[in-house]
Homo-oligomer: A and B are copies of this chain.
């Protein structure tokens, strides 16, 4: 089952010709979640052949424009394409007013229900849960209120061993209970232990999204041991002062957080437009945390 991230934009506020500002698609078992939505995100979706209508959930980390200016355009395009399905937006309350005032100015009555879920970025909260995924927010530290997102796949059910089914006859009606961990008792009273009937499910996977933030150790408990961490690295280490003044991180900050949180893999992004070549940023982060990768527009990171 799919669990992947597609980078739609990896730059900080000012776009460049090859790097759009923040937006990503998380694909969880073919359900698509859009994380942040900078200006131009709908063009990036077109470019990377991601069908707009497959997106049902949009999460916005904070209200700097490079994280949401593309949202109203995307919502308008959904409307013009005649969308009927609900769209769920998770963001700070103020964004609702920003969307409403623009829909009012164009006299637009959306063709689909827009369900707005207000986020309080100051606290750690659960904002989404279904049978496959759970999403929690956690506060990060930036110049305005901002949160990170932790996406955690639900533990899958146990797998019934195929060879068992050819040895003993188990009614189909018992499958669900066995997958959930129950033993099986045959009509003759024979007890088959669950451990003999099933195999462990694959471990559940997790992804943490942390941008924009300065170096902030309080996020570590929230992102501990995740499979993949996206952490901003706006600047190289020689710009540590600028980073700190602007509540952003350096390459080393991101890598140190990854190391201390014991994550499996780190992806850095949200680069300042000053950097044409990103290899020096990668190299700096790798010095601290070797399993680091560069976010680049169009790149896909699969979590196996």
| Interface residues in chain A, defined as those with a beta carbon under 8 Å from any beta carbon in chain B | 13-17, 20, 39-40, 42-43, 46-47, 63-66, 69-70, 72-73, 76-77, 80-81, 92, 94-95, 97-98, 101-102, 104-107, 143-144
Contacts and interface: CB of A to CB of B under 8 A. Distances in A.
Given A39-B42, A70-B39, A106 B63 contact: yes
Contacts of A16: 46
A161 B166 CA distance: 106
Contacts of A77: 13-15
A95 B101 contact: no
Given A47-B17, A107-B143, A72 B65 contact: yes
Contact of A15 (B42, B66, B97, B102): B42
Given A65-B102, A102-B98, A107-B144, A17 B43 contact: yes
A92 B104 CA distance: 13
A259 B16 CA distance: 42
A7 B94 CA distance: 35
A69 B73 contact: yes
Contact of A13 (B13, B39, B76, B143): B76
A179 B180 CA distance: 94
Given A15-B42, A17-B47, A39-B70, A63 B94 contact: no
Given A43-B40, A46-B15, A73 B65 contact: yes
A65 B69 contact: no
Nearest to A13: B80
